[in-house]
Amino acid sequence: MSKEYFELKIKPKDNYELFLNLILSLTDDAIEENNGEIIVRSEESLLDFLEPLEKFASAINTKCEISCEKKESIDWIKKYQDSIQAVEVGNFYIRPSWLEPKEDKIDILIDPALAFGSGHHETTSSCILAIDEFVKRGDELLDVGTGSGILAIAAAKKGAVVDVCDTDEICIESTLSNFELNEQKINNSWVGSVGFAKKKYSVVLANIIADVLVMISDDLISSTKDGGIIIVSGILDKHEKRVLNRFSKLEELKIIHKNEWVTMVFKK
């Protein structure tokens, strides 16, 4: 991509069609028409157009504003990519594929997409810290509301055997492709919630809003093995007590507060 381009602007008082036809006959570059103004942009110089256009305007006795400016090109893709930052959470480094991995960190690749879960949100990063602390090699784990699959990928990288579910089909598609991108294996996945689980897990994760957690709390508990771990997040602190009440029969292992968000870890 060239660093500069030329922008030619022609705004005739009248005889607009005559100017437009002339421009169309002079250039193959794309032409923008905007409120009676004709704009041509090109990486080639358009300065040579100035004189003929001025002569044409005078020949047909039409007032016309004509200008040609050299402008700096903007690499929009690079600008967009620069706006997406990698994020470091405990031992994990979560990055888009155009950034380099970080030495001594567990690498997670997530490219921006429609599904939630880039690692930047407080709830996701708190869950990752909880996974780092409580998930062990060989754990059988269910990630409920997997979104981009980021938490399940973190758990798989710690050696867990992971199942995922989400009520949104796009999230399951996104999770499957992110598992491939991260060269990780997924054991099972389904569109739907924890109610469709066919076995009990040693770890059950759910980063969903408080109202949904309250609604599915019995299913989350019954899908967890005795002695297993439940990690729930997505809870605004004003709903903390309400969610805690639903898990009050379990042992409370850890409560993580990050800004106004709460993450809870229980043992069944």
Choose the binding region for ligand SAM from 100-108, 123-131, 239-247, 250-258 (rule: CB under 6 A): 123-131
Nearest residue to 148 via CA among 198, 122, 199, 182: 182
Whole-angstrom CA distances from 236 to 34, 122, 244, 263 are 48, 11, 12, 9
Nearest residue to 101 via CA among 110, 93, 91: 93
Q: Is there binding between residue 166 and ligand SAM (CB under 6 A)?
A: yes
Query: Cα 107–113–115 angle (5° rounding)?
Result: 90
Asked whether residue 234 is marked as a ligand-binding residue, the answer is no
Smallest distance, Å, CB 150 to ligand SAM? Answer: 5
Asked whether residue 27 is marked as a ligand-binding residue, the answer is no
Q: Is there binding between residue 116 and ligand SAM (CB under 6 A)?
A: yes
Task: Return the number of the residue (168 or 173) whose C-beta is nearest ligand SAM.
Answer: 168
Q: Is there binding between residue 228 and ligand SAM (CB under 6 A)?
A: no
Asked whether residue 259 is marked as a ligand-binding residue, the answer is no
For residues 89 and 225, what is the distance between their CA atoms, to the nearest angstrom?
Answer: 28
Q: Are 30 and 41 in contact (CB under 8 A)?
A: yes
Half-sphere exposure of 123 (CA within 13 A, CB side): 21
Smallest distance, Å, CB 148 to ligand SAM? Answer: 6
Residues 75-94 that bind ligand SAM (CB under 6 A): none
Annotated binding site: 124, 145, 166, 207
Residues that bind ligand SAM (CB under 6 A): 116-117, 123-124, 127, 144-147, 150-151, 165-168, 171, 193, 207-208, 212, 216, 234
